[in-house]
Amino acid sequence: MHAPRGLTDSPQTAGTGPKHKPPLVLFDLDNTLVDRAEGLRQWAEEFTRDRGLGTAAVEWIVEADDNGLKSRDRFFAEVRDRFAIGDSIEALHHAYQQRYPLFLRCPQHVLDQIAQLRESGWRVGVVTNGLTLTQGAVLEHTGLVRHLDGWCISEEAGVRKPDPEIFTLAAERCGSDLTDGWMCGDSPEADVIGAQLAGLHTIWIRHGRSWSDSLPAPDRTVDSIAEALQALRPIGSPVIPR
């Protein structure tokens, strides 16, 4: 995998320092731009099939994964102990990093709509918590790297959502700033509250859930990434054409 723009030390900027920065939108990765839940299930099906663990093991693994919130070391320790697997935690994790990204997809219509946003003048980036190797491979395999101005992965950035610093860093890598910028994601705490703390407008993908009255509400609530992208198109007018 080539050295990604998400790992550069300096932001990509257009021209020679325009007075106004281009409009910015940042996206979460898992269960926003890609269907992590489905990708994890497909990986689990292959893993259990190759090891002869039976179909019931798939559901156990999906539940144990805790939507990716559990550390991979702990997750694979539990998998190894549950199914009496002789491989080390490190070996299981390495095999996962090689195979799991291949099950992730970003729909072509989403890639096309991102391309349209960029053509109209938006700067587009990704902000994701996770491991650099795994999330970087997902960005590469899905083709998203060709449609982004920059990205931040928490491990390499040294900061995690909802810390506002990661949004600021992502904006810099995209050649923009947070002024009147937007963040779109599915996590109330990591994506919406974190972005609000950074001064961003927010779009929440609800996935059938209800917003908690105890939290500051997002600017927009949608049912899908396609709906979020449609909502962004008429917002504001780009400052700098590409």
Tokens of 154: 């928490």
Q: The whole model's pTM is what?
A: 0.88
The phi, psi pair for 204, rounded to 5°, reads -105, 130
Written as one letter, the residue type at 169 is L
Measure the CA–CA gap between 140 and 126, rounded to whole angstroms.
13
Q: What is the pLDDT of residue 236?
A: 55
Q: Give pLDDT tens digits for 86-98.
A: 999 999 999 999 9
For residue 241, the one-letter residue type is P
The pLDDT, as a whole number, for residue 2 is 40
What tens digit of pLDDT does each residue of 55-109 get? 999 999 999 999 998 999 999 999 999 999 999 999 999 999 999 999 999 999 9
- The DSSP output letter for 145 is G
Q: What Å distances lie between residue 182 and 4, 26, 129, 137, CA to CA? A: 22, 6, 18, 25
HSE-CB at 151 with a 13 A cutoff on CA atoms is 27
Q: What is the DSSP string of 7-71?
A: G-SS---STT--SSPPPEEEE-TBTTTB-HHHHHHHHHHHHHHHTT--THHHHHHHHHHGGGTS-
Question: In a 3-state reduction of DSSP, which class is residue 106?
Answer: coil
**24 strand-pairing partners:** 123
Per-residue pLDDT at 154: 97
Among 4-13, 132-141, 209-218, the range scoring the smallest mean pLDDT is 4-13
